[in-house]
């Protein structure tokens, strides 16, 4: 299932820390470590799932990968070359190669633009296609994500959450990127819509060979779409491996706790699962201190 792949993007030993608000004018600054010794490789055509709870640093890592977050240490490489966003030529290539889809389908589309304009914008910025080619591509993208031609002239507020997320995906694909960072793309959607969107993402990957960095807090969702999974806890990647391996034979206590904490819709096993979760939580607390 996972043939050896060329690394498309790699994050090497990244550290990020944020200054806390000073408690008083005279007090010294204190720092919050958001990312510590984080390394991650995403292969071409591969999906890497990134799992963690709030404050684990997964969104900061997403911002690092997208070149939105300055690093205190470490590097990001695209096809082996260091990404230097101070140089216009590398910036241009990088901005075309890496796109993003965010969690909130309501905030991620400009409410004053039509769908056609939204889909056109990344290509206009890339500046490689003629107006006619861009128009064709907009129609092609709309078809890909299941929008009709007459919906292109509408505004985002006229769509449901699931449809907006399809538009956001189409926009991310517009400049034919190599990697799309998906930051909790289905967390805000209803369960019955989630699998539609995941299915769409998979079909796109099968036809275009695009890579995904898929971020979520729900291991079960991540497992179904990812080739590899990385688990984050308190700014570190505590476990990384093949998706099925991480989920079936987790090695880190936190991964085990996370897996045991996920509820299952089977009422016959819930009592047993509960006991298992409590046991793991106690074991975890003994080793790492209270979690909350």
Partner 1 sequence: MSVLPRRLRGRAVIPVAGGFLLLLILVAFAAPLVAPHDPTTGDLMRPAQLPSGQHWLGTDSLGRDVLSRIVYGARVALLAALVAVGVAVVIGLPAGLVLGYRGGWADRIVLRAAEGVNAMPFLLVAITFIAVLGPGLFKSMAVVGVVYAVMVLRLVRGETLAAREELYVTGAVVAGASTARILWRHLLPAVAPSLIVLVTTMFATSIVAEATLSYLGLGTQPPDASWGNMLADAQQTAFAHWFPAIPPGVAILVTVLAFNLLGDGLRDAFAREATGSVLDARPPAVTEPDPSLPDEPSTPDAPDTLVAVRGLSVSFPAPGERGRWVPAVTDVSFDIGRGEVVSLVGESGSGKSVTAMALAGLVPAPAVVEARSITFDGRELAGTDARTMRTLRAGSIGVVFQDPLKALNPAFTVGTQLTEGLRVVHGMSTQDARRAAAEWLDRVRIPDATHRLRQYPHEFSGGMAQRVMIAMALSAEPALLIADEPTTALDVTVQGEILDLLRELQEQTGMSLLIITHDQGVVADLAERVLVMYAGELVERGRVADVLTGPRHPYTAGLIASVPRNRRRTGPLPRVRGVVPAAGRWGEGCRFHDRCPFALPACATGTVALHTLDGGASRCLRTGDDLALADPAVWR
Partner 2 sequence: MLRVVLTRILLVVPLIIVVSTVAFFLGALSPIDPADSILGPDPTQAQVDAVHAQLGLDRPVTTQFFEWAGGAVTGDLGASLFSHEPVTDLLARALPVTLSLTLGGLLISLLLGLPVGIFSALRAGRLGDRIATGAVTFWQAVPNFWLALLLILFFAVNLGWFPAVGYTPISEGVGDWLRGITLPSLALGVSAGAVVARQTRSALIGVLQQEYVRTAMAQGLSRRRVVGKYALRNAAVPVVTVVAFEVAGLFGGSIVVERMFSMRGFGTVAIDAVLRRDPDVVQGVIVVAAAVMLVVQLLLDLSYAWFNPKVRLS
Site residues for partner 2, 204-243, by CB under 8 A, read none
Window 11-50: contact mask with partner 1 (x via CB under 8 A): ----------------------------------------
Please choose which of partner 1, partner 2, none residue 25 contacts, taking the beta carbon within 5 to 8 angstroms, the exact cut-off set by kind. partner 2
Positive or negative torsion for Cα 66, 79, 173, 85: positive
- Structure-token pair, residue 288: 């790492």
* Shortest Cβ 84–partner 1 spacing (Å): 15
Report the nearest approach of partner 1 to the CB of residue 199 (Å). 6
Q: Which residues contact residue 214 at a Cβ distance below 8 angstroms, ignoring those fewer than 6 apart?
A: 47, 48, 49, 50, 182, 185, 201, 222, 225, 226
CB of 265 to partner 1, least distance (A): 4
Based on the number of CB atoms within 10 Å of its own CB, is 44 exposed (0-12), middle (13-18) or buried (19 or more)? Answer: middle
- How many whole angstroms separate alpha carbon 160 and alpha carbon 14? 38
Residue with tokens 């409410």: 111
What is the CA 243 to chain-centroid distance, rounded? 15
Which of 217, 234, 236, 252 binds partner 1 (CB under 8 A)? It is 217
Site for partner 1 in 225-264 (CB under 8 A): 244, 247-248, 257-259, 261-264
Least spacing, CB of residue 55 vs partner 1, in Å: 8
Please identify, using beta-carbon distances, which residue of 20 and 274 lies nearer to partner 2.
Answer: 20
Strands 236-242 and 73-78 turn out to be unpaired
Contacts of partner 2 in 4-43 (CB under 8 A): 21, 23-25
User: Residues interacting with partner 2, by CB under 8 A?
Assistant: 21, 23-25
């Amino acid at each position: 299932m996972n043939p050896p792949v060329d690394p498309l993007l790699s994050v090497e030993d990244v550290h990020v820390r944020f200054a806390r608000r000073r408690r008083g004018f005279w007090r010294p600054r204190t720092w919050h470590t958001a990312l510590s010794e984080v390394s991650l490789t995403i292969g071409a055509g591969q999906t890497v799932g990134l799992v963690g709870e709030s404050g684990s640093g997964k969104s900061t890592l997403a911002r690092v990968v997208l070149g939105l977050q300055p690093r205190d240490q470490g590097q990001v490489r695209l096809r082996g070359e260091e990404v230097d966003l101070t140089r216009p030529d590398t910036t241009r290539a990088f901005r075309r190669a890496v796109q993003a889809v965010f969690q909130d389908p309501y905030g991620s589309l400009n409410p004053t633009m039509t769908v056609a304009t939204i889909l056109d914008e990344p290509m206009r910025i890339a500046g490689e296609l003629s107006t006619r080619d861009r128009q064709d591509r907009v129609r092609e993208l709309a078809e890909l994500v299941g929008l009709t031609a007459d919906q292109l002239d509408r505004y985002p507020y006229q769509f449901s959450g699931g449809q907006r997320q399809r538009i956001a995906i189409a926009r991310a694909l517009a400049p034919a990127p190599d990697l799309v960072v998906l930051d909790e793309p289905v967390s805000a959607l209803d369960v019955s819509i989630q699998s539609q969107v995941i299915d769409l993402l998979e079909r796109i990957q099968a036809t275009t060979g695009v890579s995904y960095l898929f971020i979520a807090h729900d291991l079960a969702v991540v497992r179904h779409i990812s080739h590899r999974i990385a688990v984050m806890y308190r700014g570190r990647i505590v476990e990384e491996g093949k998706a099925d391996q991480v989920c079936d034979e987790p090695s880190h206590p936190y991964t085990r706790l996370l897996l045991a904490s996920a509820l299952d819709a089977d009422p016959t096993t819930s009592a047993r699962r509960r006991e298992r979760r409590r046991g793991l939580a106690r074991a975890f607390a003994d080793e790492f201190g209270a979690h909350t």
